[in-house]
Structure 1
Amino acid sequence: MEYYVKSVVPVIESNYDKFTPVEKEIADFFIHNQKRMDFSIKNISETLFTSKATLVRFAQKCGYHGYKEFIYQYEETFIEKSEKITGNTRMVLNAYQELLNKAYSLVDERQIGKITGYFNKADRVLVCGLGSSGLSAREMEIRFMRIGVNVDSLADPDMMKMSSVFQNKNSLVLGFSLSGEREEVRYLLRESYNKGAKTVLFTTKNRVAFDEYCSEVVLLPSLKHLNHGDVISPQFPILVMLDIIYAYYVEQNKYIRKGMHDSTLRALEEGEKNHKEVY
């Protein structure tokens, strides 16, 4: 757990719904394979009983120029790591480490730059999510509000539907849905996009349909059953990406935005001091 390894596995997982049945068999092989072997296109095509051309198309759907680039990155997965912690501690820390490694593999700095540009141009920012994603939306509202962004968060389905009416070309709407299946979130993004707003969906799934109403789709790392929060909080991958966006946004005008943050902190401290004096 000392370093990050650029892995193609989260990329495969994010694009899984785009694959044909044959490509899904290839994806399953690379996702679940745990051993080093001869990954040459000849050997893998014979092992999986598929054509070399299919392997090339699969690699291209994952965002690589070809199979050679794909497999070069895939082999990085097998860099050996020492394990010194046992029990529940290791299980939890390994889960976090796996998500961080996947986030490292998925983050697109050019995309982050575009999103921070949307923040700069928007008169109003709206963030929405349900359940644990709604908590992440609230966290984003608090953090960005403290550096001067006109931002609100929504975690109520009816409010999402009503708010879609008031969006326009000067709006930026961000939606959080790990599964990509929250219809209320998708409705707000879709209606806002149709009114000219910039829309960004944060999700673990990459589906063609999202392109119809999302200016950007930010891919988040995922673990099995992450939505249920049985080992670690489902908010974690969202918050990691929010921290990255926040860091980029603050850096663009560091002194002014840091000054705003410090001013809000002083206001909170003064309010607490006055409260104690009253009582």
Structure 2
Amino acid sequence: MENIIPQMEAIYSSFTPLEKTIADFFIHNDEKKDLSSKSVSKKLFVSEASLSRFAKKCGYKGYREFIFCYKQYESGMNRQQASDNIKLVFNSYQELLNKSYSLIDEAQIERIVKILTEKKRIYVYGKGSSGTVGTEMKLRFMRIGVNIEAITDEHIMKMNSVLLDGECGVIGISISGKTETVIDSLKAAKKCGAAVVLMTSRKEKKFEDFCDEIMLFAVKENLERGKDISPQFPILVMIDMLYSRILRTEGFRRRETLHEYTMEALDEK
């Protein structure tokens, strides 16, 4: 079983508190020391019998087989060789991540986070795959207290301008930078006094006329396997940067409490 750590992560929720302690040790272990049952049981303050039961729950005959496979996984000896096609797809993702990293502007992230956290209402405009990302962004950010709404219908985008003022922030997502409905709606938002952010892979001087921030994300078209990559991926990377930064803001404690409350409410449903 070459996927021993992913396997543990997949069934992690079914573990008892004691089994989670054992699983955490092996998932996050960076020591190459003695992993015998006697040594590990002393380190974790669990019995050797508990280690054996844990190994069986993970699908192994016992702790010996578990630790044998674990060591092989760690050394990479037990991994199957991926096909050239799979390697190329993974390489494309890696290249996109590298490009995304080179585009990161931490000062800009701070400014956009300020809009997200200080404006009373946030609207995200997007169509197609960009609209899907907008909806995902709404679901994530509302859980930490951002008053955010995603709009994917072009008619509602146009009508929404009557609700905008200086206390609003509008984020438009357009991979090509040519989605007329989104671009026109951002222009209207700017006239209403809203803070405007455009997330796009295309940089044009004219965007500066109606955008406070232009957040660029990497393009996938020039990659060898670019067509195999989800168009949402580079946008989600940038959204993760914003989300991560909000989690580290001073006012996040209140949002964290709201997030926990939201999760509890969802669990009750």
Higher relative contact order (CA 8 A, sep 6+): 1
Aligned: 1:173 with 2:170: yes
Relative to structure 2, which stretch is displaced further, 152-161 or 250-259?
A: 250-259
Stretches of structure 2 that go unaligned for 5 or more consecutive residues are 1-80
Alignment partner of 1:107 out of 104, 107, 130:
104
What is residue 201 of structure 2 aligned with on the other side?
A: 204
Aligned: 1:122 with 2:119: yes
**What is the CA distance between 1:86 and its match in structure 2?**
4.2
**Greater C-alpha radius of gyration:** 2
SS in 1 for 2:227: coil
**What is the CA distance between 1:165 and its match in structure 2?**
2.3
SS in 1 for 2:189: helix
Distance in 2 separating the partners of 1:225 and 1:262: 42
What is residue 261 of structure 2 aligned with on the other side?
A: 263
Using structure 2 for the length normalisation, give the TM-score. Answer: 0.67
**What is the CA distance between 1:101 and its match in structure 2?**
0.2
Aligned: 1:161 with 2:151: no
What is residue 87 of structure 1 aligned with on the other side?
A: 84
How high is the sequence identity, in percent, across the aligned residues? 42
For 1:155-202, what per-residue CA distance to the aligned partner results, in whole angstroms no more than 9, with x for missing partners? 111111111222111110001001000011011110011111100000
Distance in 2 separating the partners of 1:122 and 1:151: 10
Distance in 2 separating the partners of 1:161 and 1:92: 39
Distance in 1 separating the partners of 2:101 and 2:227: 23
**What is the CA distance between 1:255 and its match in structure 2?**
2.5
**What is the CA distance between 1:254 and its match in structure 2?**
3.4
**What is the CA distance between 1:120 and its match in structure 2?**
2.3
Structure 2 letter corresponding to 1:257:
R
Aligned: 1:97 with 2:94: yes
Structure 2 letter corresponding to 1:100:
L
SS in 2 for 1:125: strand
Distance in 1 separating the partners of 2:104 and 2:151: 25
What is the 5 A alignment of 1:213-232? Answer: 213-224=210-221, 230-232=227-229
Distance in 2 separating the partners of 1:216 and 1:194: 15
Stretches of structure 1 that go unaligned for 5 or more consecutive residues are 1-83, 272-279
Aligned: 1:250 with 2:251: no
**What is the CA distance between 1:121 and its match in structure 2?**
2.0
Q: How many residues align?
A: 187
What is residue 236 of structure 2 aligned with on the other side?
A: 239
For 1:70-97, what per-residue CA distance to the aligned partner results, in whole angstroms no more than 9, with x for missing partners? xxxxxxxxxxxxxx85412111111110
What is residue 139 of structure 2 aligned with on the other side?
A: 142
